[in-house]
Amino acid sequence: MSRVVLEGLEFHARHGVYETEAALGARFVIDAELHWAFAGIPDELGAAVNYAAAYAAIREEVTGERHQLIEVLTDRIARRLLRDHPRLEAVTVRVHKPFAPLPGVFRDVYAELTLRQGELESGG
């Protein structure tokens, strides 16, 4: 399957369990893999999945409603992309929280979800 990848989208948002996360916010990094069959399409935006529109939807989900869990945010983004773009066969979304409040040295914490268009009805 072919895919278009939006990688390393950075936003300041206030997701998290702790009040300090709600008050101060933190950096969140989003990766979105948009799986759809684009081999042989005409060279016209109308024949494609508009990744600028996908970016706008991701930005809205990340910077809008606050969630305690990055797993919930990941699910919301994946479902929104599938709803907004019926050409998509599947999406894989990763929400990175590189400054998660953990008592140790770490490189990253992230939630990852792959959803297919047919799975959209369940949940959310």
Question: Rounded distance, CA 119 to CA 102, Å?
Answer: 33
Q: 15: domain CATH number?
A: 3.30.1130.10
* Helix residue spans in the chain (DSSP H): 19-24, 51-63, 70-84
Q: Is there a domain that residue 43 lies in? A: yes
The answer to whether residue 111 is domain-embedded is: yes
**Residue 19 placed within a domain:** yes
Structural tokens at position 117: 């268009």
Residue 16 gets the label, from left (phi > 0), alpha (psi -120 to 50) or beta, of left
Residues in Cβ contact with 46 at an 8 Å cutoff, skipping those fewer than 6 apart: none
Q: Is residue 124 part of a domain?
A: no
Structural domain count of the chain: 1
Range of the domain at 61: 2-116
Whether 97 is a known active-site residue: answer yes
pLDDT cut 70: percent of the chain above it: 98
Question: What is the pTM (predicted TM-score) of this model?
Answer: 0.93
The catalytic residue among 33, 35, 97, 115 is 97
Taking alpha carbons only, the member of 114, 53, 51, 52 closest to residue 78 is: 114
Q: What is the dihedral of CA 118, 37, 113, 31, to 10 degrees?
A: -150
Cα separation, 116 vs 88, whole angstroms: 8
Is 122 a residue whose pLDDT tops 80? Answer: no
Tell me the per-residue pLDDT of 7-49, one tens digit each, with 9 for 90 and over: 999 999 999 988 888 899 999 999 999 999 999 999 999 999 9
